[in-house]
Amino acid sequence: MTNDLEIFKKKLGKQIAKLRENKGLTQSQLSALINKDFQSISRIENGRVNASGYILKEIADALEVDMNKLFDF
């Protein structure tokens, strides 16, 4: 049974992936911009981790979007 947190993490991950792709960035390129390994980005985009607010802010800054855009799903 999938709970609300799992659904939220998957939706957030898909939104981040979409924004990243719209920016023309690979997971490796985004991870380099925020000084993380690309596996971290992969885990976030696949909804396998509950990313911290600080990492989400770093992602939004790297994608040059308002943090609210990450949650526009």
pLDDT digits 0-9 by tens, 6-41:
999 999 999 999 999 999 999 999 999 999 999 999
pLDDT at 6: 94
Question: Mind giving me the DSSP string for 11-26?
Answer: HHHHHHHHHHHHTT--
Task: For residue range 47-60, list pLDDT tens digits in order.
Answer: 999 999 999 999 99
Scan for tokens 């990243």, then name that residue: 20
pTM, to two decimals: 0.93
**Whether the predicted pLDDT of 1 surpasses 90:** no
